[in-house]
Structure 1
């Protein structure tokens, strides 16, 4: 694969900028005391913008937790502004599990490796490369562009997008539409046909803690009221439970379109038969046909021979649009009446329609760069900063364009080991983003 012809500056700069960002450790542990690097990354972004004469605002939500916002005036100030957003934080990486050091920004085998390479410092780099080129060449977009680089997306955005929406909504005055992660990536159907998935919906987040109580005592005694035992039984029931299939309009449209292109029958009552044939994207799509609840953390006790009086578990729940009340009722039945449920984080699902001038501009930019491109809507199984920005009435899409090798398991790279982005895919993305923003 090769990027389409364009001025060399963005194609060269996007690799440098992405590599620089990967070398800044912005690990978000979820604990403000142990998070690292977000302020350093924010200052790097602000400096890259300032170097080409573009002012920005750094908004620090807590010590070391910083966000960057810059506005580029468009030729038609009467039009609604477009928000283009990306986050600077990354999830932790255990270097012993990786083939390369996760914060070295190493180039190998045509890929740029590092934690954040596709989630989502690649798109941050695209944003910077495009606007730096515009500033040098005097290019103005057709409408205002609001660039936003956030902290804390990987822990729910309390110190990032949600802080900006609550404390500095003025920075987004006039914004009517937005693009961010995770969408615009390719799925190869054949040599001359690639689907590019545009995110129009994403599941809601419910991070819950389960608590059980029992009678504390000595570990050598017989105990029929053990908080750890009760918790483990409840967690096992949750982890093994399969929620019923619910095919939402976005997922139905996606599966119907893909089935038609692949020449296979689509039965809404058995969507898993179609999903099983989707190869590298099956994991993403498969998680959007039902609610999910996955145990992620356990906490109990303080000494080997002491039975604790309390035990806790964290459950990562992702809920389909319109399903939250039903989901919580079902979860209560699964864990039982004696288990306390604490709500740690709740962000509702979001969904928009797949139409309008912005969608047309996405499709046109992708076809310009890849004549075999065809855009389709899909639902993201995870969550993004769009959940915060939609509170301002902004219509949000996932569009961070990447052309991927047909055999790359893209979904496995998110929060996985050996995260990497193909360099030619990264350069393809910056060309598409440039074209899209000029015509949006």
Structure 2
């Protein structure tokens, strides 16, 4: 087995509970949101850039900090390295009901690269100004890490325990393939997640304001990821001579067929529920009787419809091309990479369609294949998330949706853990949240963090 694991015992402990001590003899005040913005800023200041396989700054220092905060809260976290500096932190918080199924909370510590020249603040400054926390990872997803740490710290200060066991996993490498993080933990340490029925993580539970209606989409499904390498073969030759067996032309024709193909509408239960419930909340007519009705419904939903556009059909997007080495030489092979996303239960249909569109002389190789996942939407778990949101926003309209991309939930699904995107934030109506993940000047409102901490506290203690 690769990697090391150890119970964490810091020589430099992390932050303890903020705020003045309560007077002796009075019950402690429970403030789950206290200091959450400072935790978020501190986490941002660790450069955990992940540029892809084999090129990462590593998560070690951030993981040590997280482990220190958890230790200060009276817990005994385990720090596990899957490779040098690729560190993960896992801890189980015992609940008061030993017979209740456990809940997993997983959040990744790595971030995508940031070019300082494009930013108005240094991307790893963790600056707090104008009521915002700025920096790479502010919304993807050190905000969630900070909210969870703030909640757990508040439980320690107030002497509180959740009803169920809560397993916290702060992981490496989500921004690549999870090979050093969630996937590795599932393969090498599945016992750490024993008894977990569901997991919550990023990409759901934040405000999506549409004409004054505050939607809170909670991710209950993710499309499958199918990354393909296409290779066209032909006859090499001189560029000045006609060549009907040109590999570049064969590849170009195959890509043109894929780009022109209109994938059929496939309404999964999650997407159908999103369209119906969102339409009802916005007073929009919903027609799901056929492809034309679905497309018209999405258009009528306006901004909200954008959440469903990529999830009523599969998509196949050419992203990389590679052919030839000299302008006057026709190469014998040409290559392209294809980013495919399939709907739950339709992975084989996707591959069969691609094979038909490729035609002769073009082969495919699978670079990455992860099946789509989905979780129950009419369940006590989803109801508890909605109830937790409404404790802080009574007008919240909570709807399920399917993510166009994917998260570490796919790895934990291999252990039978149903995944939800539930990282709650209340955001101003005009806040450009969806464009900030992986974008320039990433930032998150302080008030949103405090809101999210209170929601997570309610959910995790009472579910």
TM more than 0.5: yes
Aligned residues: 433
Aligned ranges for residues 341-380 of structure 1 at < 5 Å? 341-380=364-403
- Alpha-carbon contact 2:58-2:87 (below 8 Å) kept: no
Match of 2:17 in 1: none
Match for 2:428 among 405, 415, 426?
A: 405
Q: Is the 8 A contact 2:30 2:154 kept in 1?
A: no
Over residues 218-254 of structure 1, what are the superposed CA-to-partner deviations in whole Å (9 max), with x where a residue is unaligned?
6566655443343334334333433122222211111
1:365 CA drift (Å): 1.4
Corresponding position of 2:57: 36
1:329 CA displacement: 1.3
Corresponding residue for residue 92 of structure 1:
113
Shift of 1:279: 4.6
Q: Please give the alpha-carbon distance, in whole angstroms, between the structure 2 residues aligned to 1:219 and 1:257.
A: 58
* 2:252 corresponding residue in structure 1: 232
Tell me if 1:160 matches 2:203. Answer: no
CA distance in 1, matches of 2:103, 2:303: 31
- Which of the pair has more CA radius of gyration? 2
For 1:58 and 1:296, the matched residues in 2 are separated by 37
Deviations 1:51-101 (A, max 9, x none): 333221122222222211111111112211111111112223333443433
Aligned to 2:334: 311
Q: For 2:270 and 2:50, how far apart are their aligned partners in 1?
A: 31
TM-aligned CA distance change 1:104 to 1:301, over 3 Å: farther
For 1:25 and 1:124, locate their aligned partners in 2 and report how far apart those are by CA, in whole Å: 15
CA contact (8 A) 2:30 2:157 kept: no
- Please tell me whether the aligned partners of residues 280 and 408 of structure 1 are also in contact (alpha carbons under 8 angstroms): no
Aligned to 1:198: 218
The root-mean-square deviation of aligned C-alpha atoms, in Å, is 2.3
Going from structure 1 to structure 2, the CA distance change for 1:297 and 1:187 (only over 3 Å counts) comes to same
Alignment of 1:167-178 (within 5 A): 167-178=188-199
- Superposition pairs of residues 34-433 of structure 1, within 5 angstroms: 34-189=55-210, 191=212, 193-216=213-236, 223-268=243-288, 269=290, 270-302=293-325, 307-433=330-456
Change (3 A) 1:142 1:228: same
Query: C-alpha deviations, 1:300-324, integer Å up to 9, x for none?
Result: 3455665543332221111111111
Cα distance in 2, alignment partners of residues 215 and 17 from structure 1: 60
**Counterpart Cα distance in 2 of 1:209 and 1:134:** 49
Specify whether residues 98 and 227 from structure 1 end up closer, same or farther in structure 2 by C-alpha distance, changes over 3 A only. farther
Q: Gaps (5+ residues) in structure 2?
A: 1-27
Deviations 1:335-385 (A, max 9, x none): 222211111111111112213332232122111101111211111111111
Residue in structure 2 matched with residue 3 of structure 1 by the alignment: none
1:22 partnered with 2:44 = yes
**Deviation at residue 147 of structure 1 after TM alignment:** 0.1
Partner SS for 2:414: helix
Contact residue 85 and residue 149 of structure 1 kept, 8 A: yes
Q: Deviations over 1:179-218 (max 9, x none)?
A: 1122111222454x42211211111111111122334456
Tell me, in whole angstroms, the C-alpha distance in 1 between the residues paired with 2:337 and 2:130.
38
TM-score w.r.t. the length of structure 2 is 0.87
Deviation, structure 1 residue 155: 2.0
Partners of 1:14 and 1:410 in 2: CA distance: 19
Question: Is residue 204–residue 421 contact of structure 2 (8 Å, CA) maintained in 1?
Answer: yes
Whether the 8 Å CA contact 1:280–1:411 is kept in 2: the answer is no
Residue 197 of structure 2 aligns to a residue in which SS? Answer: strand
Cα deviation 1:372-415 (Å, max 9, x = unaligned): 11211111111111111121122222111111222234332333
Cα distance in 1, alignment partners of residues 374 and 389 from structure 2 = 22
Gaps of 5+ in 1: 1-5
Q: How many Å separate the matches in 2 of 1:316 and 1:190?
A: 34
